Structure 1
Amino acid sequence: MLSEGGSFMKGVVLGGLFCLVLSLLGSFSPGTESRTEDHHHHHVKAPSDDELQRLSDTRVQELSNQVRVSCIIMVQPKILVYWATAVDTWSKHCDKAVFYTSESSKALDAVDLNEKDDWARLRKALKHAYENAGDLRWFFVAQPTTFAIIENLKYLVLTKDPSEPFYLGNAMKSGELEYVLYDSGIVLSYEALKRLVHVFQDEDKCPERGRALWKLSEDKQLAVCLKYTGVYAENGEDAHGKGLFNSKSVDSLITDSMRDNPTNVVEGCCSNMAVTFNGMSPNQMQVMMYGVYRLRPYGHDFHDSLMFHPPEGSDND
């Protein structure tokens, strides 16, 4: 009877432990996602017109000259057409644009990381960007399928101090983890990148190959590592609270707005200061370049309070 009772108690204990493990796995499941707009924290807004008007002309000019962006663009030869399109379109507006590839390609210039694993490759790219940052203090991580308006990114971080740890973009939530969606582009300040590169050296906190029961995506791995350094995901928004980093194309966002906001499609669609869009074909990205940078109503003055000059010697639009 004693042995039967002992077996019963062992079963109870093991069953309880099994249920506990299942409960923990459920709470950390990467499949349960929600937008962080449900949580009233971790929001970073672009300056309003009123805020800019309170700054002196000299200060505005200083800020506009100081905000310079290094673009870290992750590419692969198998998506060569997107790679070529990014080279020919929005990346020209980065103060520095470096393409990082999984393997060398004779067609286009890039830093060959000779790494097949997506997370390990991203780590190497971020470390390389940090070590070669020079005087650049803002870093934009993107895939070639993303279309970015770099001037709007500069406006978002205009009054932010890059010596503070900023980790911005389209913030999402998976279980207890808040992270920035890779498809929409990721913004890191110099301080955030410095902390990240430092924690890369700690395999217990930030393993290069990952040790989870399931393989985490690169953006979630990034958030986990940054969390150990006290850096948390923040949602980039305009002065009215609209998200600036989009994981969909303009066409998809307008279609969604026509369904959800039929009486006010434009207002319900996107921010006027949107930074990124995703999910467009290379041809659509070329059309975006035309609409964003080339098409202008003759004689119309937008009265912008400041101007971001293109990188010296660039052939951008």
Structure 2
Amino acid sequence: MWRPTLEFVFGLTLGFVYAYLNAFLLSDSFSNRRSLKCNCAQSRDTVRDTLPIKYSTRSEPATEDGVQTLLTDVDATRLTNSTNYTRSKNDTGSTENTPKRNFRIFCWIMTSPANLEKRAKYVQRTWARRCDQHIFISSQTNKTFPTFGVDTSEGRYHLTEKTMLGFDYVYKYHYNDGDWFLKADDDAYVIVENLKYFLSNQNTEEPIYFGHHFKPIAEQDYFSGGSGFVVSKEAMRRFGKYGTESNLCRNQHGVAGDVNFGKCMRNLGVKVGNSTDKYGRNRFHCFNPETHLRGHYPLWYYSYDANGARYGTESMSKHPISFHYMENQILTVHHLLYHVRPYGISIDVTEDINQEHT
């Protein structure tokens, strides 16, 4: 006769205990203790974010104007553990991606005082950090951002001097910091992992450079400047050692910085390299992705592009390296590349699309 009574009392006791714990967990005092813990962590982040931003890529993410950088812990891990790839044959004779000796990409981004807040800071927060080292070069030194100033004026009519002086600065102060040297504008987006993959079977001791291939104007073909071009160690050595001679690379002025740099490379015996993949698809792109997919090109492009001004998905390599005119798309593209994945879809990245290097 006591068993039902005992079960009732036991159940009632458990009910009171559950109700008390539930009320405690939802109480203000418990919430305050949780918020204090969060505030402590937040204060550490705040202290961290007030530290000066280094121009080296291994710096911590920064917060400006209430907008947090998109460089997350996952990005930082990828930066630290980045691997360069080359092709080798396994026991069955098929090719596979295997680690190669490390090589370093030094990136310099051409900007201006007026573009630091509009463009350059978004490049700094995103793809520039994935280079081994990077700097921003402008007409004025800004120790806060930072940028390094070269002795020239701003404006399109000074693009040649700015390009030449930028490479001269990199040679003098950073020649030993890279094996390849990338120059890009502050409205470009570069997928550095794809650049490293492409360069993995190129020889930096060869006088060569790569980019979006244009064919007219210069006596030698050249590369579009905005989307970036990458210069080998040997090409940089020749520029630094002989480029000061007036008949080779100096005394050049005007709008067409990429054309004049192409003339300089030709005078130094530096070759125009082919950066298309084994299917003939472009990796460097002088417009934004939408323009290359739709084919809405300006008329001049049809006579300039060395690869036939193709458009659509079959014109673009599945491992593209760069795009230009990305001023309002840099954060979006970075987020889609590194933080978003379609659920349930696996992407095959094992196919080697580099061309045989001869």
Distance in 2 of aligned mates of 1:238 and 1:113:
36
Residue 303 of structure 1, CA deviation = 5.5
Residue 59 of structure 1, CA deviation = 9.1
State yes or no: 1:136 paired with 2:178.
yes
Distance in 2 of aligned mates of 1:139 and 1:106:
23
State yes or no: 1:277 paired with 2:318.
no
Contact 2:110 2:184 in 1 (8 A): yes
Tell me: CA distance 1:100–1:154, structure 2 relative to 1, closer, same or farther (3 Å): same
State yes or no: 1:52 paired with 2:97.
no
Partner of 1:62: 100
Distance in 1 of aligned mates of 2:111 and 2:267:
28
Greater RCO between the two (CA within 8 Å, min separation 6)? 1
SS in 1 for 2:266: helix
Tell me: CA distance 1:135–1:144, structure 2 relative to 1, closer, same or farther (3 Å): closer
Partner of 2:272: 233
Residue 274 of structure 1, CA deviation = 0.6
State yes or no: 1:223 paired with 2:262.
yes
Residue 188 of structure 1, CA deviation = 0.3
Give the AA of the match of 2:283: L
State yes or no: 1:292 paired with 2:334.
no
Contact 1:52 1:305 in 2 (8 A): no
Partner of 1:248: 287
TM-score, normalised via structure 2 length:
0.62
SS in 2 for 1:183: coil
Distance in 2 of aligned mates of 1:52 and 1:209:
41
Residue 112 of structure 1, CA deviation = 1.6
Residues 131-163 of structure 1 show CA distances to partners (whole Å, capped at 9, x for unaligned) of 323252011100011111011111111011111
State yes or no: 1:150 paired with 2:185.
no
Distance in 1 of aligned mates of 2:241 and 2:255:
21
Contact 1:170 1:235 in 2 (8 A): no
Contact 1:166 1:192 in 2 (8 A): yes
Residue 227 of structure 1, CA deviation = 0.8
1:138-217, aligned counterparts within 5 Å? 138-175=180-217, 176-210=219-253, 215=254, 217=256
Tell me: CA distance 1:209–1:279, structure 2 relative to 1, closer, same or farther (3 Å): same
Partner of 1:262: none
Give the AA of the match of 1:206: C
TM-score, normalised via structure 1 length:
0.69
SS in 2 for 1:182: coil
SS in 2 for 1:152: helix
Residues 23-62 of structure 1 show CA distances to partners (whole Å, capped at 9, x for unaligned) of xxxxxxxxxxxxxxxxxxxxxxxxxx9x825269999323
Contact 1:141 1:185 in 2 (8 A): yes
Distance in 1 of aligned mates of 2:103 and 2:97:
12
Q: Which has the higher Rg, Structure 1 or Structure 2?
A: 2
SS in 1 for 2:275: strand
Residue 277 of structure 1, CA deviation = 0.7
Identify the match of residue 73 of structure 1 among 99, 109, 116: 109
Distance in 1 of aligned mates of 2:242 and 2:261:
11
Give the AA of the match of 2:238: R
Partner of 2:38: none
Distance in 2 of aligned mates of 1:249 and 1:71:
20
Contact 2:96 2:350 in 1 (8 A): no
Residue 238 of structure 1, CA deviation = 1.4
Residue 191 of structure 1, CA deviation = 0.4
Contact 2:184 2:226 in 1 (8 A): yes
SS in 2 for 1:167: strand
Tell me: CA distance 1:106–1:290, structure 2 relative to 1, closer, same or farther (3 Å): same
Which stretches in structure 1 are left out of the alignment for 5+ residues?
1-48, 258-264, 307-317
Which stretches in structure 2 are left out of the alignment for 5+ residues?
1-84, 297-310, 352-358
Contact 1:199 1:225 in 2 (8 A): no
Residue 126 of structure 1, CA deviation = 1.1
Residue 217 of structure 1, CA deviation = 1.0
Distance in 1 of aligned mates of 2:249 and 2:286:
26
Contact 1:163 1:190 in 2 (8 A): yes
Distance in 1 of aligned mates of 2:317 and 2:97:
26
Among the aligned pairs, what percent are the same residue? 23
Partner of 1:89: 126
Distance in 1 of aligned mates of 2:129 and 2:199:
19
Which stretch shifts more, 76-85 or 289-298? 289-298
Which stretch shifts more, 285-294 or 297-306? 297-306
Residues 143-191 of structure 1 show CA distances to partners (whole Å, capped at 9, x for unaligned) of 0111110111111110111111121011111243311110121110100
Distance in 2 of aligned mates of 1:227 and 1:134:
24
Distance in 1 of aligned mates of 2:105 and 2:133:
7
Which stretch shifts more, 189-198 or 102-111? 102-111
